[in-house]
Structure 1
Amino acid sequence: MQNLSGSPRRLQLQAPSPDSPSLPHAATGPLRVAVVHEWLVSRAGSEKVLEQILKVYPQADLFALVDFLDEGERAFLEGRQARTSFIQRLPRARTCYRHYLPLMPLAVEQFDVSDYDLVISSSHAVAKGVITGPDQIHISYVHTPIRYAWDLQHQYLRESRLETGWKSWAARACLHYLRLWDTRTAHGVDGFIANSAYVARRIRKVYGRTASVVYPPVDTGTFQLRRDKENFYLAAGRYVAYKRMPLIAEAFAAMPDKRLVMIGEGAELDRVRFLARRAANIEVLGYQPGAVLADTMARAKALVFAAEEDFGITPVEAQACGTPVIAYGAGGVLESVVADPDPERGTGWFFPRQTAASLCQAVREFESMGGFRPEVCRANAERFSQENFRQALADAVGQVLARQSDHPLLARLGLCP
């Protein structure tokens, strides 16, 4: 159980065991660690990263703006209770916490982490803005800079129907403030770690900083390799605008001889169902439990993925099943899928534009290649295993510490080279 008395836990650094990742500059000496996360409301992709960070630093204390995790989803925290911000107590915070975005910079700045030596933030919005002092080291694992405040602002305004009117100007002013704050707080980070080379380029563009790359962990062990595939394609994920699920439905409606199964839920589900009613070859299953999704993914001829993701875990999960991927060729998927017709190398194929016509052409090209080897897909997915993530994270943190060789913290802990 987490120490809630106010004094931070101390992590004793020792020589690592052969089957566990090495801690940064393993030596004797206490290291007090805090991990700052944005919000705990479900066990999604960033929470899977958080889980593995806490395995590397098992005695770290946890901070989060809000913590509304259901009891059935808390096991990965291993008994920890996050120290939360004032947003936790605001009206309707459980369901409308995102509406408090303008207050989140203020909220994260109120976390008192002054008693910790090492602060690790898991950030896709504001966590990296936690305030640290000159004798502390702050390392930020960045899932993405605030996408809707930077290069995706105009897309966000369109999809939120905030292109005109006073609400539009209020939203634009808020996003302008967030950009200023986001840029300023980058100076408080000693080392950036990005979840893909794509995000590392965004960090370079936005903050003018170099980031090492540690790909997110995928629980490849829960997905079984299956060699015999059935004659259908799969689209799976949240039905939100940037996932482009209606685009996939539209493309397969134009290919009536190719069967498509769609799994997931979200705001665009009704639109997808409307498109599917006109196409007998499209089956919309809605939400399905994880076991059903994994089984369907393993049987599918290929996963179809139309989103521009910072990384994209679903394509890796598909490859872990031995299932190749047909994806929009942008973002992190360029790093997780090998688009090569050589069956000894390739794990999928890309389409160059987010249009139904471009996807249809990619499906035709995919089928003309004669298939991809499930074993090659699986081997590629293993690059992103949880074990590899933990080792890569420990190494990346160690590299940041090595660059801080004159830092008084390292001298005090006996970690200087």
Structure 2
Amino acid sequence: MKVVSDRFVPGRRLRVAIVHEWLDTYAGSERVLEQLLRSYPEADVFAVVDFLTGPDREMLRGRKVTTSFIQRLPGARKRFRNYLQLMPIAVEQFDLAGYDLILSSHHAVAKGVITGPDQVHVCYVHSPMRYAWDMQAEYLHQSGMERGLRSLYARWLLHRLRGFDVRSANGVDLFIANSRYIARRIRKAYRRDAEVVAPPVDVQRFQPGHDTRRDYVVVSRMVPYKRVDLVVEAFRGLPDRRLLVIGDGTEREKIAALASGAPNIELLGRLPQDALLRTLQQARAFVFAAEEDFGIAMVEAQACGTPLIVYGRGGAADIIDPDAGPPTGVLFDEQTPEAIRNAVWRFERDEALMTPERCRANALRFSPDAFARGIAEAVARALDEARRNGAPIPATDSQPIFHRHGAL
């Protein structure tokens, strides 16, 4: 869509473009995109590539996605991430001249789109590029690229991406972070302040059950930074507590080896959504040892009335606030099995205070409706500021459509 000729016609509708990184699966950032599309149903969508298929594609509700030239490059369907070095150029080629409001959903290059002085660019940040900033060393180690020519190329590429990341931050009028932790990372990387709006969680689908709560549960992809190994090691030292491990990934064999010989630990692999829901409803507590940008799985557990035992860095500190009132979980300060075991004992000491009702009430703070209202208020302020500065942005039809979270 490119409309320029009627840009200044009085009474016309606000034109909105939503820029997403890439569409290949339905995960956390796609949940944000889905809710943005519900709030702005007439928005056009842009993405580096679009390979969504089957049920995952239903979130687009029949919308055509404008993609970049990377969509047509050899092998892009399976290996589009190999074209990371071209993605900054790719997003800069999107023609957004006909839009008043650009919403970018960013964790890599989406905020790099080019906008003009009479347009408002609001960027929702899932995280600055972790592998290009403070997690570069960990990324190179996990990828086996600490030495050699591949390492030299990767370091050069990440250096270039950092330059692009900082430069493109100048084109953003308002940053919105998904947690206070990410707001601090934005401040560190871009020297910009950010408002905080937590991502939407389907709290209506995750409801408390009525079964007896018995087992401790960890739900996670089995990749190194998720630190599922620490949880398993901790419960090896708690033989009278049962731990259910849900998920799969590159570290499955390592986790299975750690759990071998421990009859109180059971690996369930990936579960269908209905089975996952039942397991969370029956859980005594949800245990998690990773430093997350936000932590949607934690909120899903809380929505089921399940208390949390989680590492207190990252987004977890937004979900479990020790100063916010009655507790709904326990935070631990170190990523060690000993710290997790101590947190389990503290949880059991105060377990009676962490009622399903309190956990559920805490989760409702992160509903899709709360997300939509937070985004709407932030966008409205950005649009009003642009109008005060003389930008010819229409005032009519500028508010998004709201959907009560119970109807989503």
The normalised TM-score by structure 2 is 0.92
What does residue 400 of structure 1 align with? Answer: 382
CA contact (8 A) 1:226 1:374 kept: no
What secondary structure does 1:326 align onto? strand
The normalised TM-score by structure 1 is 0.90
1-side partners of 2:267 and 2:393: how far apart?
60
How many pairs align? 394
Unaligned stretches of 5+ residues in structure 2: 399-408
How many angstroms does 1:76 deviate by? 1.2
CA contact (8 A) 2:2 2:98 kept: no
2-side partners of 1:265 and 1:359: how far apart?
21
CA contact (8 A) 1:117 1:409 kept: no
What does residue 368 of structure 1 align with? Answer: 349
What does residue 80 of structure 1 align with? Answer: 63
CA contact (8 A) 1:246 1:275 kept: yes
Give the alignment partner of residue 199 of structure 1, picking from 154, 168, 182.
182
Give the alignment partner of residue 231 of structure 1, picking from 194, 201, 214.
214
Which string of whole-angstrom CA distances, capped at 9 and with x for unpartnered residues, describes residues 23-75 of structure 1?
Answer: xxxx9532111100001111100000001111111000000111111122111
Identity of aligned residues (%): 52
What does residue 60 of structure 1 align with? Answer: 43
2-side partners of 1:345 and 1:414: how far apart?
43
Give the alignment partner of residue 146 of structure 2, picking from 163, 184, 208.
163
Which string of whole-angstrom CA distances, capped at 9 and with x for unpartnered residues, describes residues 276-332 of structure 1?
Answer: 122111110101111111110110000001110111100000000000000011001
CA contact (8 A) 1:300 1:323 kept: yes
How many angstroms does 1:228 deviate by? 4.5
What does residue 287 of structure 1 align with? Answer: 270
Alignment map for 1:18-417 (pairs within 5 Å): 28-226=11-209, 228-339=211-322, 345-371=326-352, 372-410=354-392, 413=395
CA RMSD of aligned residues (A): 2.1
1-side partners of 2:26 and 2:93: how far apart?
25
Amino acid in structure 1 at the alignment position of 2:359 = C
What secondary structure does 1:203 align onto? helix
CA contact (8 A) 1:257 1:281 kept: yes
1-side partners of 2:394 and 2:308: how far apart?
50
2-side partners of 1:253 and 1:31: how far apart?
58
2-side partners of 1:173 and 1:77: how far apart?
36
What secondary structure does 2:351 align onto? coil
Amino acid in structure 1 at the alignment position of 2:338 = A
2-side partners of 1:123 and 1:105: how far apart?
12
Unaligned stretches of 5+ residues in structure 1: 12-26
1-side partners of 2:13 and 2:153: how far apart?
47
How many angstroms does 1:411 deviate by? 5.6
How many angstroms does 1:227 deviate by? 5.4
Amino acid in structure 1 at the alignment position of 2:101 = L
How many angstroms does 1:407 deviate by? 3.6
2-side partners of 1:385 and 1:297: how far apart?
18
